[in-house]
Chains A and B, each alone.
Chain A
Amino acid sequence: MSVVRVEGLYKAFFVKRGSGWGWGKDELRAVDGVSFSVAQGETFGLVGESGCGKSTVGNCLLRLTIPDQGRLVFHGQDLARLSGRALRRARSGMAVVFQDPQSSLDPRMTVRGLVAAPLRVGRHVRRFGTDLEVEQRVAVALREVGLGAEHMSRYAHEFSGGQRQRIAIARALITNPAFIVLDEPTSALDVSVQAQVLNLLQDIQKRRGVSYLFISHDLTVIRHMSRRVGVMYLGVLVENAMADNLFLRPLHPYTQALLAAAPIPDPRTRQNLAVLPGDPPSPVRVPPGCRFHPRCPSALPVCKQSAPPRVYMGPEHVVACHLYKS
């Protein structure tokens, strides 16, 4: 039973052309036909290089960005078609944790105000009880993330990075969301703190059965967290599989290259890191056919002409590549 289903998501931005006096605008296809679904209680990891559109997918799901095409089904409602009050009500079942806990917490609010904010916002959303009840819920949420009620009157800048991210997680939890977008939630943290926050997120998932969309560029983190993983390259989902499958038997050449480029944390192994030639092309000028073909070590002539279809290689393993036939 999927909590969130994304079908054919498409989002383009328009950027000013070049640096000269050009009037024209270029179409930057940030997300081009991405589909996946997230089941209840599972973590779907979205991995890719920076600029591949993984955050745009998250922002579209949260409707911080309005998608151009596609369906975003959450609890049976298409978020892409909702607006105003209906959107707010539907979105109240979602929450988000951003990368930088410093800027995602208003410096002018106390922890109490920050964590309680989702309960108090606006007249459109149902108000949650009296001040005392709100206070109690804040205390419960803080305890769940490992902070005490005594922290409530402090400001965000009085906390360390890891603690701030815990506050942001408490804020995300307080409305009992069914689905949380975690947009690089540990990228801004120390490695030692990263592990704590990741384990906290897993504990919360076990306890509450909440679904995560976990966006990250860090393969080890993605592997640790996710049940299923989607690999993005230049706005398309090139491979989507169960995490174990994907890491043990990557099919798409890009996934293979990505995994080969990840260093193994062992000083005794002499590593021959395979590095892809070149940089990812600008998303403004996407290569025709398969987007990966200019850098692909096993490109075929057909790759230049037509975009690869989605091929089902076994249950829940989808790859978009001409090398495979189902």
Chain B
Amino acid sequence: MLTLRILSRNPSAAAGGGILAVMVCMALLAGVLAPYEPVEINLSERLQGPGADHWFGTDEMGRDIFSRIMYGARISLRIGFFVVAIAGGLGALIGATAGYLGGWVDNLMMRVMDVIISFPSLVLAMALAAAMGPSLNNAILAVAFVMIPKFARMVRGEALAVREMPFVLASRVAGAGHAWIILRHILPNCLNSVIVLATLTLGDAILIAASLSFIGLGAQPPMPEWGAMISVGRKFLMDQWWYATFPGLFILFTVVGFNILGDALRDVLDPRIRR
């Protein structure tokens, strides 16, 4: 609760949180607020510019871009949430295990993480998504996979410090097994950093997932995914600028929002740089 109060006094946290609050409201209330159905085709109004009827214009099928962006927020936030949940969960577990056990387990796990991290994340995600076949769920899995090492490395570092703490030794004396110590001591004490990294990673995840959709490996039409909308809108960029621009702006806002909030969270939650 103290954390929340400090956060609300931090201007960049408030800005980031504000942007994200708008995004979340859009996603949740898309069904109520959106003026049109996201897949409603109206060929008589195709490629209209921004105006009173269609705030962000229409696409080549006459679908309202504003409505599609609102529904698209649902998809983007869902992608971000699942990617971070999968990557954060597995990464934290791997990192905590490697850091706590040390030795060859640590070496093996971290070398595997090094292999994953040695590929550019977008390229690896593309390859994985292509191998699994183009679909939104596969894109989520692919992005989550490339994000695992970030969490694993960070949590491992923290686990190395936590495992020497006397409270871990006390539990060992009491007869605690490795699993118990990892789940009850190591992971809870790494939680703050995981939350910070998860917030920062959400933006990246949404960006990479949008990139996958852009090249046709993620969300499939007619899904109103922002990256996929840009992909189609690209063909009309010369004459109908609004088609690709608005989804792009929303990707930008979301990513920036998560990054600002993540930075502020790090300032607040990390006692080493707390002022």
* A90, closest chain B residue (CB): B175
* A171, closest chain B residue (CB): B170
CB of A123 within 8 A of CB of B177, answer yes
Q: Inside 8 A of A104's CB, which chain B residues have their CB?
A: 165-167, 169-170
Q: Inside 8 A of A95's CB, which chain B residues have their CB?
A: 173-174
Q: Any chain B CB within 8 A of the CB of A221?
A: no
CB of A103 within 8 A of CB of B166, answer yes
Q: Inside 8 A of B170's CB, which chain A residues have their CB?
A: 96, 98, 104, 168, 171
Q: Inside 8 A of A62's CB, which chain B residues have their CB?
A: 169, 173
Given contacts A98-B169, A107-B189, whether A124 and B174 have CB atoms under 8 Å apart is no
| Min distance, Cβ A293 to any Cβ of chain B, angstroms | 36
Given contacts A108-B188, A108-B191, whether A122 and B176 have CB atoms under 8 Å apart is yes
| Min distance, Cβ B202 to any Cβ of chain A, angstroms | 24
Q: Inside 8 A of A226's CB, which chain B residues have their CB?
A: none
Chain A, range 144-181, C-beta contacts under 8 Å to B: 168, 171, 175
CB of A117 within 8 A of CB of B174, answer yes
CB of B188 within 8 A of CB of A106, answer yes
Q: Inside 8 A of B176's CB, which chain A residues have their CB?
A: 117, 121-122
CB of A121 within 8 A of CB of B177, answer yes
B180 in complex: contacting residue of A96, A106, A107, A122, CB < 8 Å: A122
Q: Inside 8 A of B165's CB, which chain A residues have their CB?
A: 103-104, 106
CB of B175 within 8 A of CB of A92, answer yes
| Min distance, Cβ A67 to any Cβ of chain B, angstroms | 15
Q: Any chain B CB within 8 A of the CB of A91?
A: yes
CB of B175 within 8 A of CB of A117, answer no
Q: How far is the CA of A122 from the CA of B172 in the complex (A)?
A: 10
How many cross-chain pairs have Cβ atoms below 8 Å apart between A and B? 72
| Min distance, Cβ B270 to any Cβ of chain A, angstroms | 15
Q: Any chain B CB within 8 A of the CB of A284?
A: no
Q: How far is the CA of A187 from the CA of B101 in the complex (A)?
A: 31
| Min distance, Cβ A60 to any Cβ of chain B, angstroms | 12
CB of A88 within 8 A of CB of B169, answer no
Q: Any chain B CB within 8 A of the CB of A125?
A: yes
Q: Any chain A CB within 8 A of the CB of B184?
A: yes
Chain B, range 164-205, C-beta contacts under 8 Å to A: 165-167, 169-177, 179-180, 184-185, 188-189, 191
| Min distance, Cβ A138 to any Cβ of chain B, angstroms | 14
Q: How far is the CA of A251 from the CA of B206 in the complex (A)?
A: 75
| Min distance, Cβ B170 to any Cβ of chain A, angstroms | 6
Q: How far is the CA of A100 from the CA of B164 in the complex (A)?
A: 13
Interface size class of A (residues with CB under 8 A): 20 to 34
Q: Inside 8 A of B177's CB, which chain A residues have their CB?
A: 88, 121-124
Q: Inside 8 A of A175's CB, which chain B residues have their CB?
A: 174
Q: How far is the CA of A91 from the CA of B174 in the complex (A)?
A: 7
CB of B173 within 8 A of CB of A91, answer yes
Q: Inside 8 A of A121's CB, which chain B residues have their CB?
A: 171, 174-177, 180
Q: How far is the CA of A95 from the CA of B172 in the complex (A)?
A: 10
* B192, closest chain A residue (CB): A108
Q: Inside 8 A of B185's CB, which chain A residues have their CB?
A: 106, 108
* A102, closest chain B residue (CB): B166
Chain B, range 185-235, C-beta contacts under 8 Å to A: 185, 188-189, 191
Q: How far is the CA of A92 from the CA of B167 in the complex (A)?
A: 16
Q: Inside 8 A of A125's CB, which chain B residues have their CB?
A: 175
Q: How far is the CA of A108 from the CA of B158 in the complex (A)?
A: 15
CB of B175 within 8 A of CB of A103, answer no
Q: How far is the CA of A161 from the CA of B254 in the complex (A)?
A: 45
Given contacts A108-B191, A118-B175, whether A64 and B184 have CB atoms under 8 Å apart is no
- 10 A-B contacts (beta carbon < 8 Å): A98-B170, A99-B166, A103-B167, A106-B167, A106-B189, A109-B184, A117-B184, A121-B174, A121-B175, A125-B175
By a beta-carbon cutoff of 8 Å, the part of chain B in contact with chain A is: 165-167, 169-177, 179-180, 184-185, 188-189, 191
By a beta-carbon cutoff of 8 Å, the part of chain A in contact with chain B is: 62, 64, 88-89, 91-92, 94-96, 98-100, 103-109, 117-118, 121-125, 168, 171, 175
